[in-house]
Amino acid sequence: MLTKAVQDAINEQINAELNSAYLYLAMSAYCSAANWTGSARWMRVQSQEELSHAIKLFDYIIDRGGRATLKPLSQPPTDFKSLHAVFQQILEHEQGVTKKIHKLYEMAVKENDYATQVMLQWFITEQVEEEKTVGEILAQLKMIGEQSTALFMLDRHLGTRTAGS
């Protein structure tokens, strides 16, 4: 059984994951409106991935005999300066999520909750991948600049993303 502290912290993380999904969906809408269709698709896939993270945590609470409680979502931004600004915000957002996961893991250690520590290992590994992927996209955006045919090529490449990739 989960301690109340761990259960509450996981519920907070569920909210963070749902807010992430909401943010990526807002970014997808921005990209669609700006005709960055590949990036819009990438953001939609990312939104779905964040939803799956929330469900994974939700199910974990239930499996451990706890109670999942949902909280209101924050209003995401709707306008961005550029595609580069979108991905910069994503990197900063993912770094914030990583910090939250680390704090949650620290709590599980403090509470001697070994099962939660094991479950959170998946999220820790996932965050390394998230930050690496966005960092690579940002590096490519910096290399090609804001006004370049290569930017359209990158956008097309981002549009090839499928769930789980």
State residue 165's pLDDT score: 62
Tell whether pTM > 0.85. yes
Q: In the numeric block, which tokens belong to residue 29?
A: 């809408």
CA dihedral for 13, 23, 48, 91, sign (positive or negative): negative
Under a CB-based contact definition with an 8 Å cutoff, are residues 45 and 90 in contact?
no
Cα–Cα distance, 49 to 116 (Å, whole number):
21
Neighbours of 41 (CB within 10 A): 20
H helix or E strand, kind and range, residue 25: helix 4-33
The string of pLDDT tens digits covering residues 34-87 is: 999 999 999 999 999 999 999 999 999 999 999 999 999 999 999 999 999 999
What is the average pLDDT score of the chain? 93
| Under 8 Å between Cβ of 43 and 27 | yes
- pLDDT value at residue 97: 97
> Among residues of the chain, what percentage have pLDDT more than 90?
83
Domains in the chain (CATH in brackets) are 4-158 (1.20.1260.10)
Query: What confidence score (pLDDT) does residue 148 get?
Result: 72
Q: Please tell me the predicted confidence (pLDDT) of residue 145.
A: 77
